[in-house]
Amino acid sequence: MTGKRNVVLGVLAVAGLGLLAGRCSPSVPRGAKKSAAATSDLAVAAQKTYVAPGDLDEYYMFSSGGHSGQVYVYGLPSMRHISTIPVYTPYPATGYGYDDESKAMLGNLTWGDAHHPALSETNGDYDGRWLFINDMNGRLARIDLRDFKTKQILGPIPNVSGNHASSFVTPNTEYAVMGSRFSIPLPKGTAVSVDKYATDYKGVVAGIKIDAKTGQMTLGWQILMPPFDYDLGDAGKLASDGWVFFTSYNTERAIGKLEVTSAQKDRDYIAAVDWRAADKAAAEGKGDLIGGVKVLDPKKVPGLVYFMPCGKSPHGVDVSPDGKYVIGSGKLQGVTTAFNFEKVLTAIRNKDFTGEEDGIPVLKYESIKDAEVPVGLGPLHTQFGTDGFAYTSLFVDSAIAKWKLGTWEVVDKVPMSYSIGHLAAAEGDTVSPDGNWLVGLNKLSHGRHLSVGPSQPESSQLVDITEEKMKLVYDAFTEPEPHYAQIIKADKIKPIEVYPKEENKHPLAVWDVKDAGATRQGDKVVVKVVVVRSTITPTAIEVRQGDTVTVAITNIEQTTDELHGMGLLDYNVNVVVDPGETKTFTFKADKAGVYPYYCTNFCSALHQEMQGYLVVKPRG
Amino acid sequence: MKALFERGGRYLDRTLGTTPRILLAAAALFLIPVYVAPLWNLTMFAPQYQEGLRLDIYSYKLEGGNKGQDIKEINVLNHYIGMKDLVAEDFTEFKWMPFVIGALGLLFLRAAVHGKMGHLVDVVVLYLYFGVFSLWSFAYKLWRYGHNLDPKAAVTVEPFMPPLFGFKQLANFEVYSYPGPASYALMASAVLLFASVVVAWREARRA
């Protein structure tokens, strides 16, 4: 009897344990279980992103290269990396940073940190002429989209330290802006202990004037700002034309461990700058000379800047296509705020202020906001599509939220892999966004690619936004590190493919091998070189040790893709010339001996034969 | 009153039969996993952490998944909301729990060998006390971690109670908290103990 009871008890016990033991942590998160269901969409996704051999993509995407100092060009929807435009970093692949002109542009810096590209605009729409991009080292560059080459690097310009809030352009490319992420004592070179940060350190926002015809950049205006960290920006358009907005954090004016000390206040600010007023004040000669440039002080020139309180530590600030709304989010919060620009103007008119910061009035948050949209955790940056839809990247949630302007309704979310930073929609920051495509620029790729060791690429994910539900359709991997990118309809850019001979006005250009050769003036030697399939003329150059040698190399080809290079061994020279182009490089022939030079860019069946010798005769 | 005590005393002096003694010894055996397996497991998933961050709580140590890296990662994440680092020093249990379990095991065996009803009642009471105290202590520890947040932290969150058992969504994290193998062994031990009591009680009634 007892035995039987025991058996019953034992069975009960085992059953009880079995029930409990079924409860333990799962091996995969909830969302992961759905992934199998997505396979039915594979064929659709593949078809949407497939660009058949020989076919062309619909859009260009210009992706910032971050601390690589470059700009990457992608084709959409294939997400193919088509080319790299070197801007702030030498790039031997195109000879950038080795010839005299690009070396002079780079100055003494061999790196840059390029975050935010800005395509030139006409009436608030991309016009496909130029691409501007910032560098943290206080510089701004202009790339000409006629030949996809960096044409000008302005700076380091005085007073702007850590040019992060840049290079957003105004609707007719009157200005590209700059803003200091790091406040410092001004002028640069002044050493004041960080204890005096709150009072003696200053931020600066600047408008860089752009010549409407040539794109040439010159110093415009600069405004002295409180020592906050100026982070991102966007120019107003249509309803808000004439204004430019900058986010700021560390309005606590704290130092030290900023991840804590700069996150104490519930709100930081978006600075609204009346750039036409700044333009006018600068034209009238107002401002004080700091670091060699005139800087406008809002204390002395009121009406230039107003602060709009925003959720703490905001990143992006984005103006809606109609210019009516300014979207800003505290990046540690779960909502993004839509400010109504009309209300901003009214608050300014009515002096609806709650205080001031170094002479800059602070507007009342409640008076200027229209809505707090519950997009999700960690909203960073917003882009726009068609039909009044907005798309906000969520870093913490690792997702994109789709929501509607006006109704403030969040309608869809799509996960990103992983930790999305910026996002770029097709022409998504212009007055007329295209919709169609959205690219999430993610900070972590985290094993979604063949392993390449600890130094991992970032991931850029293509999202189809043509339908009500967003659909992730493609993973691409990008070198470090894309921040912001812009996507422009391909037919807006009309690049040349050779430099026409008649346009080449280089004083040292020669178009006939008979004119090639060396001339000497004292210890300076100028060598005019002609490259054409498959000879570098002259095939031998003789100089004396200690000579300063300038080589002017002209590629006299007028055929697409017939590039030639000239690599000079042991002298750290590699210059690449495109068809019809002339470049010079200068070096001191300080090593005696014989140094081969050769064509580095494959050109023809007899490319290997395209070589010559530099003979440096010893001194004495 | 006196009669009651006498009857109680007689009952406690009763010698146990073979079955309750075997069950007691088996209950002692089920205490052994406490020295090798985790008592509790916390697993957290987020979009950025598809493989999950794992934390195993043993009777004598904390062990993070991914060769310990997960604890560091959890602490890095928690510092944004001002939570105290999870460190072994905060778990005073680690100092006494292995000793107490050992002592309980010896008492189980003592009860099995001496075979008195009183010993069985002792270990049951002690075991219940140990179980309830440990669970309370664990719950309190979780509560303290979730409520003792630095007000100066970068991200302000409402104080919260991490899940003691089951699932809870905390911000972007799916958090799962479930007993580990050692706790299931302890439960088995408790069941055996309970079975021992039931059998012994039946024996007493039959006599």
Classify residue B6: in a domain, yes or no. Answer: no
CATH number, domain containing residue B71 = 1.20.140
B144 touches chain A (CB under 8 A): no
User: How far is the C-alpha of A580 from the C-alpha of A558, rounded, in Å?
Assistant: 6
Q: Tell me what the mean pLDDT of segment B180-206 comes to.
A: 92
Give the pLDDT band (50/70/90) at residue B98.
very high
The whole-number pLDDT of residue B10 equals 83
- Using a CB–CB cut-off of 8 Å, the residues of A that contact B are 2, 5-6, 9-10, 13, 16-17, 20-21, 23-32, 259-260, 263-264, 313, 332, 377-378, 396-399, 415-419, 444, 446
**Half-sphere CA count of A437, side-chain side, radius 13 A:** 27
Q: If contacts are CB pairs under 8 Å, which of residues 27-66 in chain B contact chain A?
A: 41-43, 45-48, 50, 52, 54
For residues A85 and A148, the answer to whether their CB atoms sit within 8 Å is: yes
Question: What's the whole-number mean pLDDT along residues A426-443?
Answer: 97
CB distance B48–A398 less than 8 Å?
A: yes
Look up residue A451 and give its two tokens: 């392993």
| B205 located within any domain | no
Q: Under an 8 A CB cutoff, do A398 and B46 touch?
A: yes
Q: Are B177 and B42 in contact (CB under 8 A)?
A: yes
What is the least distance, in Å, from the CA of B182 to any CA of chain A? Answer: 11
pLDDT score at A582? 98
ipTM exceeding 0.90, yes/no? no
Residue B154, pLDDT > 60, answer: yes
Q: Are A41 and A471 in contact (CB under 8 A)?
A: yes
Token code pair at residue A429: 């920051």
CA distance B173 to chain A (A): 9
State pLDDT tens for residues B12-50: 888 999 999 999 999 999 999 999 999 999 999 998 898
pLDDT band with cut points at 50, 70 and 90 for residue A266: confident
Q: Average pLDDT, stretch A518-535?
A: 97
B164 located within any domain: yes
CB-CB contact of B52 with B64 (8 Å): no
What pLDDT is attached to residue B7?
82
- In this prediction, residue A257 carries a pLDDT of 85
Q: Look at residue A232 in the predicted model and tell me its pLDDT.
A: 97
Which residue matches tokens 């790299």? Answer: A84
Helices (H), A270-422: 275-283, 341-349, 365-368
Please say if the pLDDT value at position A301 is more than 60.
Answer: yes
pLDDT of residue A1: 44
Q: Which DSSP letter does residue A57 get?
A: -
Query: Does A17 sit within 8 Å of B188, measured CB to CB?
Result: yes
Tell me the three state secondary structure of residue A163: strand
Which one is the CATH code of A501-617: 2.40.50.140, 2.40.128.130, 3.40.630.30, 2.60.40.420? 2.60.40.420
Q: Is residue B41 part of a domain?
A: yes
Q: How confident is the model at residue A26 (pLDDT cuts 50, 70, 90)?
A: confident
Tell me the per-residue pLDDT of A445-463, one tens digit each, with 9 for 90 and over. Answer: 888 899 999 999 999 999 9
Decide if A30 and B45 are in contact by the 8 Å CB cutoff: yes
Question: A20 contacts in B (CB within 8 Å)?
Answer: 179, 184, 187
Q: Which of A2, A16, A444 sits opposite B191 (nearest CB)?
A: A16
Euclidean distance between CA atoms B27 and A314, whole angstroms = 59
The span from the CA of A57 to the CA of A381, in Å, is: 26
B150 occurs within a structural domain: yes
d(CA B147, CA A67): 40
Q: Are A525 and A599 in contact (CB under 8 A)?
A: no
pLDDT tens profile B169-192: 988 899 999 999 999 999 999 999
* Alpha-carbon span B20 to A416, nearest angstrom: 59
The encoded tokens of residue A519 equal 């001339």
Q: Write the residue in A2, A27, A31 that is nearest to B199 by C-beta.
A: A2
Residue type, A24: C
pLDDT at B65 over 70: yes
pLDDT of residue A421: 96
Environment class of residue A256 by beta-carbon count within 10 Å: exposed (0-12), middle (13-18) or buried (19+)?
A: exposed
Any idea which residue has 């660009």 for tokens?
A51
Residue-number span of the structural domain to which B41 is assigned: 17-200
- Please indicate, yes or no, if residue B153 is contained in any of the structural domains: yes
Q: Tell me whether residues A25 and B178 touch, CB distance under 8 A.
A: yes
Residues of B in contact with A32 (CB under 8 A): 50
Confidence of residue A36 (pLDDT cuts 50, 70, 90): very low
Residue A102: CB partners within 8 Å, gap ≥ 6?
A90, A95, A96, A150
Number of domains in chain B: 1
Tell me: the pLDDT tens digits for A308-353? 999 999 999 999 999 999 999 899 889 999 999 999 999 999 999 9
State how far the Cα of A408 lies from the Cα of A325, in Å rounded to an integer.
Answer: 12
pTM: 0.90
* pLDDT class of A18 with cuts at 50, 70, 90: low
Q: How far is B196 from chain A (nearest CA, A)?
A: 9
Pick from A25, A30, A260: CB nearest B152: A260
Residue A579, phi-psi category: left (phi > 0), alpha (psi -120 to 50), beta (remainder): beta
Name the residue type at position B55: L
Tell me how far apart the 2 most distant CA atoms of chain B are, in Å.
70
Which chain B residues in 15-34 lie under 8 Å from chain A, judged by CB atoms?
17, 19
Identify the pLDDT of residue B156.
84
- Band the pLDDT of A45: cuts 50, 70, 90: confident
Contacts of B163 in chain A (CB under 8 A): none
pLDDT grade for A523, boundaries at 50, 70 and 90 = very high
Give the gap in angstroms from C-alpha B51 to the nearest C-alpha of chain A: 6
Q: How far apart are CA A413 and CA A375, in angstroms?
A: 9
Average pLDDT of chain A? 94
B2 CA: distance to closest CA in chain A (Å): 33
Q: Of the segments A491-495, B79-83, B164-168, which one has the largest average pLDDT value?
A: A491-495
Contacts of B47 in chain A (CB under 8 A): 31, 397-399, 415-419
Using DSSP's 3-state secondary structure scheme, residue A200 falls into helix
Strands (E), A99-172: 117-122, 125-135, 139-144, 149-154
Label residue A536 exposed, middle or buried (CB < 10 Å: 0-12, 13-18, 19+): buried
Pull the structure tokens for residue A567. Answer: 């690599």
Q: How far is A446 from chain B (nearest CA, A)?
A: 8
Paired strand residues for B56:
B41, B63
In angstroms, the CA A523 to CA A518 distance is 12
% chain A with pLDDT above 70:
95
In total, the C-beta contacts within 8 angstroms joining chain A to chain B are: 94
The Cα A166–Cα A170 span in angstroms is 12
> How do residues A344-392 score in pLDDT, each as one tens digit?
999 999 999 999 999 999 999 999 999 999 999 999 999 999 999 999 9
pLDDT band at B9 (very low <50, low <70, confident <90, very high): confident
Q: What is the pLDDT of residue A524?
A: 98
Contact A487, A76 (CB under 8 A): yes
Q: What is the pLDDT of residue A7?
A: 54
- Residue A499, pLDDT score: 98
Report the SS3 class of residue A92. coil
CA distance A466 to chain B (A): 25
Rounded to whole angstroms, how far apart are CA atoms A266 and B50? 32
Q: CB distance B178–A24 less than 8 Å?
A: yes
Q: Higher confidence at residue A6 or residue A582? A: A582
